[in-house]
Amino acid sequence: SAVGRGPEVPFRSEAYGISAVARGKELRLTLSALDPAAGPPAQDLVFRFGMSGSFRLSPAAELPRHAHLRFLTRESPPRALCFVDPRRFGSWRLGDAWQPERGPCVVSEYQAFRENVLKNLDDRAFDKPICEVLLNQKYFNGIGNYLRAEILYRLKIPPFEKARTVLEALKEQEMRKKDPSLTLSKKVKLKQENPDLLELCHTVPLEVIMAEKPLLDPEHPDNYAAFKDWLQCYLVPGMSSLRDRNGRTMWFQGEPGPMAPKGEPRKTPRKKSPQLKADPEALSPEVTPRALKQRGRAAAKPPKSEEKEEEKEEEADGPRKGCARRRKVTAAPALPEVPPSVRRSRRTSARRGKGETGSP
């Protein structure tokens, strides 16, 4: 499209096919002419989706908004496979190379991913809290904000525990699982009953990917509702949240851990009542629950980056959605204060009045 920020794709063909392969948070498309002898050479594109990027297949005459790259079909009427990215955090680049700083994929390269983490625990990156390290794509390629919350919640690991402390314990667990005295069935049972953090980095994303319906499909609200039901921690009422040192919101239950940033965790209310059940006199006319929320958002003033934009999206998708409107509660106006001199003159007048009335 004219407003797209990606590079021009130097590929033109009357008949071509598209194949795709994913690795972590990247996707590589390969465009190949159906007749290699007559068509152009194959062209590779590597995509990053940011927060709002997706592919949609729609009629060519009814392109979705923000369709920054389009691949047209030959049928009549034609359709278009579109890379749609409303917030423009996504991108594509020419060539077949994955980003070099990204490690093995947690889904498709599990063993290599696991070895890459365990053999590099001396890296200073693991001096940070485990919740922050889980977003380091050099070691956890494919793990994002909602996945880290779900993984740590299931294992009851405090999010701000030191990463090396958590991961070094996995070496001891591996030694137990490799005990030669255990039978194969006992080893399998031990692994199933005691999954470790690296295993959940592999299996939890698979739960979303392998679901009967695509849980994150924005075109099907019912599927997204199923995704919300699947979540156990992220954006779930009753959970606590804290911003990590990168400005990302970490959702968790229980204690945050010894490396938690300063400040009390925010607690998401379990239920939203349609009316505020509070003493009206406890609030001044200018301070309402909604006003307090607005002040909190204004005070944060997050910079325009992908991390801060995600916070806005979390708030927009959070428990506030669908909440009944609350009545604005204000304090009853107080009676005007009467100066002491006026009160004394009133009492004097009253006494004089009584005396005059009682005199013969």
More confident residue, 341 or 161: 161
Question: Quick one: tokens of 51?
Answer: 């927060």
Say what the pLDDT of residue 11 is: 92
Question: pTM value?
Answer: 0.69
Q: How confident is residue 51, by pLDDT bands cut at 50, 70 and 90?
A: confident
Q: How confident is residue 165, by pLDDT bands cut at 50, 70 and 90?
A: very high
3-state SS record for 33-76: ECCCCCCCCCEEEEEECCCCCEEEEEEHHHCCCCEEEEEECCCC
Q: Name which of 74, 75, 54, 73 is nearest 65 in CA terms.
A: 54
Say what the pLDDT of residue 117 is: 96
pLDDT(332) > 50 = no
Task: Report the CATH fold assignment for 16-94.
Answer: N-terminal domain of MutM-like DNA repair proteins (3.20.190)
Furthest C-alpha separation in the chain: 131
Instruction: Kindly state the percentage of the chain with pLDDT values over 70.
Output: 66
Sign of CA dihedral 139, 141, 147, 150: negative
pLDDT(189) > 90 = no
Locate all alpha helices (DSSP H) within the chain, ordered by sequence.
110-118, 130-133, 145-155, 163-177, 184-193, 197-209, 221-230, 289-300, 306-317, 340-358
Say what the pLDDT of residue 38 is: 85
φ and ψ at residue 48, rounded to 5 degrees = -120, 140
Say what the pLDDT of residue 99 is: 93
pLDDT(12) > 50 = yes
Mean pLDDT of 231-249: 95
d(CA 18, CA 34): 10
Mean pLDDT of 15-42: 93
Q: Name the residue ranges covered by the structural domains of the chain.
A: 16-94, 110-252
Mean pLDDT of 99-120: 96
Question: Quick one: tokens of 73?
Answer: 């079909």
CATH of 110-252, one of 3.40.50.300, 3.20.20.20, 3.40.30.10, 1.10.8.50: 1.10.8.50
d(CA 49, CA 85): 8
pLDDT digits (tens, 9 = 90+) for 65-74: 999 999 999 8
More confident residue, 283 or 7: 7
Q: What's the N-to-C CA distance of the chain in angstroms? A: 103
What secondary structure letter does DSSP report for 146?
A: H
Mean pLDDT of 211-219: 67
User: Quick check: 69 and 6 in contact, CB under 8 A?
Assistant: yes
pLDDT(106) > 90 = yes
Say what the pLDDT of residue 193 is: 53
User: Quick check: 169 and 52 in contact, CB under 8 A?
Assistant: no
d(CA 68, CA 291): 38
Q: Name which of 160, 239, 148, 243 is nearest 197 in CA terms.
A: 148
d(CA 249, CA 179): 40
Find which of 169-183, 191-205, 240-254, 343-357 is predicted with most confidence, using mean pLDDT: 240-254
More confident residue, 89 or 104: 104
Say what the pLDDT of residue 85 is: 92
pLDDT(284) > 90 = no
Q: Name which of 274, 276, 297 is nearest 288 in CA terms.
A: 276
Q: Which amino acid is at 130?
A: I
